Structure 1
Amino acid sequence: MFAERAWRAGAAFVTAMSTTHIEAAPSRPARRHGRLRRALLALVLGLAGGLAGAELVFREILFGGGLLTERLGKPVRQAVFFADPDADGDYWKLHHLFTDSARRDAFVRKDELVGWLDDSVTPGTYEHAQVRWLVDRRPVLMYGDSFAACVVPDSSCWQGLLEKSPLRSKFMMLNYGTSAFGLDQAYLLMRESVDRWLERRPLVVIGILVDNDLDRCLLDFRGCSKPVVRLVDGQLEVDPPEIGDVDAWLEEHPPEITSYLLRFLSLRASWWPAALRHPEGEDASLVERKGMLSRAIIEEIANELRARELEFFFVLFHAPESAASEGPWTWREELLIGTCAELEIPYVSSKRALRQDHERTGGSWKDYYIQEGTMKDHLSPRGNRAVFPAILGGLRGEFDG
């Protein structure tokens, strides 16, 4: 059990702390110096023992199964207190451990390449369930996360809106968008599935959520094991996921946290020295890693599609925070726009489409996004209808950049 593993790790931490070594005093020390050394030794051992004991108690509160520890641990049993949800797999490992099974991410359709798939896509072959409706129309292949897949009924999603558009006789969308995907998984799924459509000259659309999809490339777990794409000597290398039992996987790959107490303090205590905090969010080293890897993936997407002589464009999706930004939202949108310009990748922006619709209709920004529940901050049916003209423009060859 994970709790037993946590206790063993805690015991190892105690052992490490309690074996603090201080050199023995010289053979003939002055009595005063001897007392000072003994006092210092007692202080160090006392602090080490106290910290080790506190660590064991804290682990019991976090992972113990008793009624008392359940009550004591509830306020601190939150994954965000220990790791960054956007770029640290430890967050999602702890989220799985701290969350009731009924409320966990449930990815039923596992896949050996990308970790999990939407119900409409067959693992391994990547056949799409809607292919029977394609007939002689040109396929539009959409890849990305839940903003590409949509969290609303199909009739209000991109494929349903396309079926109601003037281009419905020419195009049909096969939506490969998959909830919780990062840009890395969208790239891998595109690379593996696009060849089955080559004879139909597909038009490929890569949806990228500006707010999260670049960060997710650093994760190794999100509800279940996911592939890890690494940049090694300028080349992308892929560590495939392990798609067996999630709890068994977590037993073999627990959170990489040496001290839960120190991690908690480093992220939550305002008095903790900034230089000693665990890197998260906008930490310069993390931003550099995310940026270099994301740019390499974007370049590889373009190379793969151009090698096949396929038309394609990107859709830059925006959650409420990035949509509200007047200019490019953080380094993420700057990188995406800059890389698209450098590599001559055409793209359309949901932000521009939302703003144009808002100016035209005078509607509330809240109407564009779901306001509550597990799908909060995703595009609503109203939001999808506002963004769709940008995608339709992309299909016509009209781009923002």
Structure 2
Amino acid sequence: MGAQSILTLQMAGYAAADANGPVSAAETAPSPRWVKVEPRKNAAFATMPDLTDGVVYMDELVNLLVQRFGTAASATGVRWYSLDNEPELWPYTHPRIHPDTVRAAELVSRSIALATAVKDVDPTSEILGPAHYGIGAYVSLQDAPDWNALKASGGYDWFVDYYLDQMRQAGTGAGKRLLDVLDVHWYPEARGDHRITDADATTEKDAQARLQAPRTLWDSTYHEDSWVARSLSAFLPILPRLQRAIERYYPGTRLAVTEYNYGGGSAISGGLAQADVLGAFGKYGVYIATLWGIGPADAYTAGAFHLYRNYDGRLGAFSNTSVRATTSDVANTSIYAAIADQDASVLHVILLNKNPGALDVRFQIAGGQTYTSGDVWGFGPGSPGITERGRVSGISGNAFHYVLPGMTALHLVLR
């Protein structure tokens, strides 16, 4: 499969001491129901944990994984370590171990300590953080009590700036990079009759909102119907905004979206949105993207992945080097293109029609490579299965037209 592992390390401070069922409020940590979690052991590692010392050491866990599977540089090692998950929500998701609101300086301090400990054990590993749940955390760490003062003192626009800057400074002091990948989660808040990620978002208005929602990732001219667009438009579109923060505060850091979902996985709108999102992630420099939640009913979501990764049933895949591709009608169409490394002899094009009616699409390809024909695969409203479509012919001067059926996603392979 070529899959890689992301392992989430605990940073909130405590782990369960027993398997005795629910923990009451009176047993909130510290209590006998919990053992402490520390980033660093500062002693020789053991490959069997000491169950009597009342502490779990994260660097000792990483050492165990390295001993068992190899370093991140090996074929079987854990490649990425995540600095916990959605820490701004700890008081809500983990109130028995971290009931207090997370402070911005606290999160940075915990992140630096854990990242340093991990890198000391496996310098080839890559660190992901802070695994924010959504834009409210990107902006203010969910209204962290110390954020306004830190924001003013550092001249930061949002918490992401502060986090990147502090991790950069700490890495400089440690002589090693302590954050390799800025990691966020993105669940769109766009609405039709419902929020598009809701299970009951099945109306035509919901479908239209879902089809347009990927534009919030990249399109500065688009304003979705959501509280995010109304209240936080200064931080949209989100992918360029995150990349600008990286470029200013910690150049060389990559970007991950390790949770996202646009809903509608069993409907054509969900398949088209997923295909659009994958294209945008590639075009705008997302290093890691991991869909959160897919089941047997989500055939159109799966179809979107097949369109990129197995369009011909023989593991034929979209290429790895993005090339510029634009459309004059971003509301109704999306287009993404790629070549293999620097070899332009084969051009892969993903083309989406988000309109119910067919469109006669006219192409003009620039550059020194001449194309004469193309094969086409795709899916549409009748089925999420990828099927071979009518070939591209009649290319003249790298220009041609192709009739794109309504609500259809195509993968063109031009030679």
Q: TM-score, normalising length from structure 1? A: 0.28
Higher strand content, 1 or 2: 2
Q: Which has the higher helix share?
A: 1
Larger gyration radius, structure 1 or structure 2: 1
By relative contact order (CA 8 Å, sep 6+), the higher-ranking structure is 1
